[in-house]
Amino acid sequence: MKNTKVTAVMNQKGGVGKTTTALHLGIGLAERGCRVLVIDTDPQGNLAKSLGYDPDELPETVADIYGKIMREEGVDPQEGILDGREGIQILPANLNLCPMEMTLMSAVSRESILKDYISLIADGYDYILIDCPPSLGLLTLNNLTAADDVIITVEPENLSAVGMQQLFRSIGMVRKKLNRTLEIRGILFTKVDARTNEHRNVMRQVREAYQDAVPVFTSWIPRNISIAEATGRGMSVYAYKGASAGARAYRSFTEEILS
């Protein structure tokens, strides 16, 4: 019986709060006593940066792990994993991951490399969160193949119906061919400015459009300057300003995930 929950945080659109959500859900769950690993699969390396690490100074990254799994070499469960900041472990990424989309094209079982890795290390964790890059390429397909469920972050600003269609088509394809039991955990609105009509309208429209097919979380994350400032300082908003609207929103989202 497998007790580890593997959740991917995705949207092929850039800058919609994926990394911020993976990080703050991860730390929130760790504060509640869970053992959490967050895996960065974006060559931008923002996850490690958000916790104050220099992405150019990482001893090992997810790219090395991918290489080892593809060459069928052993992987030590602690290999490449950075320990402890704000209670979570992270497997970071950096620009070394860039060529991987190309390398994967010719790999055997090219969509299930990450799944193979996770099956080796999952025992040590209650939650494994995967931060997706802003694309629907092979790295994201690996994430969806490895995941039990997926959280889709959506910024109500300039929401693209076509973009959402592409996203759901990719999830549908993965379900059909690669991972039959993949679930959509829900849509999380991020960077919300509740004072603007546009944001309120988009949130209502999305709830109406998807209500039966896709859950939408009750919690939503406001656009909050403390979150942006915390990212710049290499810490979470919990550590930077624990009473801010951003910190409170991510805490209540964490509770919703646990409930």
Residues that bind ligand ATP (CB under 6 A): 14-20, 42, 44, 46, 134, 190-191, 221, 223-224, 227-228, 231, 246
Q: For residue 67, which amino acid is it? A: G
- Please name the residues in contact with 192: beta carbons below 8 A apart, sequence gap of 6 or more: 155, 156, 199, 203, 220, 221, 222, 223
Q: What is the DSSP letter of 240?
A: H
Q: Which does 223 bind (CB under 5 to 8 A by kind): ligand ATP, Mg ion, none?
A: ligand ATP
Tell me which residue of 135, 143, 131 sits closest to 90, measured CA to CA.
131
- Please name the residues in contact with 28: beta carbons below 8 A apart, sequence gap of 6 or more: 238, 250, 251, 253, 254, 257
String marking each residue 44-73 x if it binds Mg ion according to CB under 5 A: --x---------------------------
- Cβ proximity to ligand ATP: between 80 and 246 the closer is 246
Least spacing, CB of residue 131 vs Mg ion, in Å: 6
Structure token digits, residue 165: 């269609």
Least spacing, CB of residue 72 vs ligand ATP, in Å: 30
Least spacing, CB of residue 109 vs ligand ATP, in Å: 26
- Cβ proximity to ligand ATP: between 114 and 235 the closer is 235
Q: Which residues bind Mg ion (CB under 5 A)?
A: 18-19, 46
